[in-house]
Amino acid sequence: MSSKKQIDFVPRSTALCYVRLSSTRDESDLISPERQRANILAECGRHGWLPEWYEDVDGHKSGTKEDNRPGWLALKTRLADPDVVAVVANDLSRLHRKGWRVGNLLDLLEQHGVGLVLAAPGRNLDLSGPAGKITTMIIALMDEYYATDLSEKQKDSVRHRRTKGQVVGPLPFGTIRGKDKYLQRSSEGIWLSVDGKLVEGKQDQPSPDENALWRGFAEAAYRCLDLYSENRRGRRKIAEILNREGFRFRDSDGKIVPFNADDVRRITANWVEYGGAVVPGKAKNRRAKDVTPDNIALNPARAVFEVDLCNRVGEVRKKRTRDMKRSADYAVRLDATIYPLSKLVYCAYCEQLAQEADNVALRSYLTGKTGNKHESRRYRHDTDRHCPSKIRSVNADLLERDFLFILENLTVKPEAVPLLAKAVEHFNRENQQEDKRTKIQAEIAHWRQRAQNADKLFKNVRISEEDWRNTLETTEHEIARLQSQIVQHNEAEIALNLTMNMVADLVQNWTEANHEMRRALASGLFQYLVYDLDKQQIVDFKLKPWIELLMQLKVTLQDNDSDSTPDSGSGTDGKQGVLECSRRDSNPRRQVPKTCALSPELREQVNEC
């Protein structure tokens, strides 16, 4: 029996059950998916079908579209399977609210021999004849008209409410809708305990702790606007101040989170709504130079905060707007400053928090920041991350000097040098065998000649097109294989030579390289470094596994009057010795020396390591 005959006898017992919730307006809407599932499950039980569920119930899932409904798209991919017997939905509007989409669906179901069953009471349709299809299309057109009519009514309602000065859509932070549908200050906020715990509540409720500090959301929004109106700090700095003062932000998901720069932007962009006025469009899409106090009249009677404060915020936003036309530039900036250790050095405080919580997402790295002057070149902590560190940046020369000290104490293990040299010599010797290279090149020439001969034979109709194509395919495969052998030998030789040269003298390679080469060198040697911003010192680091096998840590002190007296060590002891020595004389306020020489007194301290 053929395979096709076997497929025809696969029992059709699977029902593709679809549930959709277009939007959630209140808690009663949440019952809708449950009601749909109950009706669908009962219908499957009457027919003895196995239900297979597909749902689109999270967020706004309009029936007029398909691209925003992943559940429905997944269901359509199953229609051609031989075990599918029917598509079951609560009613026709759950599938589509477009007449032409319903027509296409009926044709698709008929093509695959799949039925359509509506589970809601009184909604069953007989699609076996023309009358049933006509009835279905009429219902689909009515559903489409309902969706269009509802959309027009909603748009008209939005226009009417905006003409009355009522905010439509998500409310600005720290506000609620009053009984008159206008904005007013929210009484919600958090209680901040002495131990740092947060408890959400309302101002008129009793405090969960007698020592807890109340921080309201409306108070936080007012404080943010006040700081911004001074025009003395950026959004990141304002967020840090708000976090230090105990204020917190409630995001769109209802979670209580620390402030960041985007939260400050969201609050300041709503200065119009805080001032009692309403403008069309979303606040995040407004251009600060177009929506200004010059062309927006605030309403003191409807204002949530003082009109003067809101106007000052609007003026500051206008002043900070860059009113210059710039052409799109997708090229690499030639004047961009490269920081060799950027995103390689982690904050010690955040690293400790990440280890305690066993969550690597809490780690925060240092990035480069260039000011208007050369001496402003610094590594800065991520400003969006809350960190107990008091100092948020470090002089770049100071950090790179301490990194150089670690490089000075990395040396190649004596037992690794002969292996590296032997490996390089091995590949050099193989590459120097001209006979082997010549032989490979001769084979490549042979296969190219075969391809030319095949072209001539095919042109003279001496071989078929199939033989000609097979010959060309074989020829190209063999040529690629032979060329890869030459490339692999060359790449291996280059890689080993680079490794040998790099690890031979790390300090010289670092000092003579530009910033871009330094970054490549640091990233190739270290997995990460941990830096204490308050103490201004490197407290930990980890080498890459491949370099850790080749290198050892040494504390080497060189005196002008004597030979070098190494105090070598490996593993944890060697690392701790290097870290202790790199912390000497690390005052960030002093001028960073150009060399890394150690005084006799410091040499004595290092010997104690």
Give the pLDDT mean for 326-341.
64
> pLDDT-derived band of residue 531, with 50, 70 and 90 as boundaries?
very high
List pLDDT tens digits, range 28-56: 555 588 888 999 999 999 989 999 999 98
Provide the pLDDT for residue 334. 53
Provide the pLDDT for residue 67. 83
Q: How far apart are CA 237 and CA 580, in angstroms?
A: 34
List pLDDT tens digits, range 174-186: 998 888 888 889 9
List pLDDT tens digits, range 89-146: 988 888 888 888 888 888 888 888 898 988 888 777 766 666 667 777 777 777 777 7
Helix, strand or coil, per DSSP, at residue 279: coil
Least confident interval from 23-37, 335-349, 397-411, 486-500: 486-500
The CA R_g of the chain, rounded to the nearest whole Å, is 36
Is residue 366 within 8 A of residue 394, CB to CB? The reply is yes
| Beta-sheet strand order (sheet of 410-412) | 410-412, 551-557, 565-568
**Residue of 115 and 62 predicted with greater confidence:** 115
Provide the pLDDT for residue 494. 52
Exposure b/e, 357-390, CB count within 10 A at least 16 = b: eeeeebbbbbbbbeeeeeeebbbbbbbebbbebe
Q: How far apart are CA 366 and CA 257, in angstroms?
A: 22
> pLDDT-derived band of residue 311, with 50, 70 and 90 as boundaries?
very high
Q: How far apart are CA 546 and CA 527, in angstroms?
A: 11
Give the pLDDT mean for 50-77.
87
Provide the pLDDT for residue 15. 93
Provide the pLDDT for residue 561. 40
Provide the pLDDT for residue 416. 62
Q: With 0-12 CB in 10 A as exposed, 13-18 as middle and 19+ as buried, what is 98? A: buried
**Residue of 516 and 307 predicted with greater confidence:** 307
**Residue of 396 and 549 predicted with greater confidence:** 396
Helix, strand or coil, per DSSP, at residue 593: coil
> pLDDT-derived band of residue 6, with 50, 70 and 90 as boundaries?
very low
Instruction: Give φ, ψ of 206 to 5 degrees.
Output: -65, 150
**Residue of 222 and 285 predicted with greater confidence:** 222
Helix (H), strand (E), coil (C) string for 416-446 = HHHHHHHHHHHHHHHHCCHHHHHHHHHHHHH
Q: Is it the case that residue 600 has pLDDT exceeding 50?
A: no
Q: Is it the case that residue 432 has pLDDT exceeding 80?
A: no
Q: How far apart are CA 234 and CA 409, in angstroms?
A: 42
Give the pLDDT mean for 524-532.
88
Provide the pLDDT for residue 593. 39
Report the percent of the chain where pLDDT is more than 90.
Answer: 15
Q: Is it the case that residue 591 has pLDDT exceeding 50?
A: no
> What is the pLDDT of the chain when averaged over all its residues?
77
Least confident interval from 23-37, 341-355, 419-433, 476-490: 419-433
Q: Is it the case that residue 564 has pLDDT exceeding 50?
A: no
**Residue of 298 and 124 predicted with greater confidence:** 298
Provide the pLDDT for residue 559. 39
List pLDDT tens digits, range 366-390: 988 765 555 578 898 887 777 888 8
Is residue 537 within 8 A of residue 583, CB to CB? The reply is yes
**DSSP, residue by residue, 88-149:** EESSHHHH-S-HHHHHHHHHHHHHHT-EEEE-STT-----SSHHHHHHHHHHHHHHHHHHHH
* DSSP classification of residue 214: E
Give the β-pairing of 14-20 and 183-185. unpaired
Q: Using alpha carbons only, give the angle 365, 370, 375 rounded to the nearest 5 degrees.
A: 110
Provide the pLDDT for residue 360. 82
Most confident of 227-241, 373-387, 447-461, 595-609: 227-241
Exposure b/e, 504-543, CB count within 10 A at least 16 = b: eebeebbeeeeeeebbebbeebbeebbbbbeebbbeebeb
Provide the pLDDT for residue 477. 79
Report the percent of the chain where pLDDT is more than 70.
Answer: 74
Is residue 447 within 8 A of residue 461, CB to CB? The reply is no
Give the pLDDT mean for 387-407.
87
Helix, strand or coil, per DSSP, at residue 518: helix
Q: Is it the case that residue 560 has pLDDT exceeding 60?
A: no
Provide the pLDDT for residue 493. 52
Q: How many CB atoms lie within 10 A of CB 290?
A: 11
404: closest CA among 605, 586, 591? 586
Largest CA-CA distance found in the chain, in angstroms, rounded:
108
Provide the pLDDT for residue 179. 84
Give the pLDDT mean for 241-268.
90
Least confident interval from 80-89, 303-312, 318-327, 402-411: 318-327
Helix, strand or coil, per DSSP, at residue 383: coil
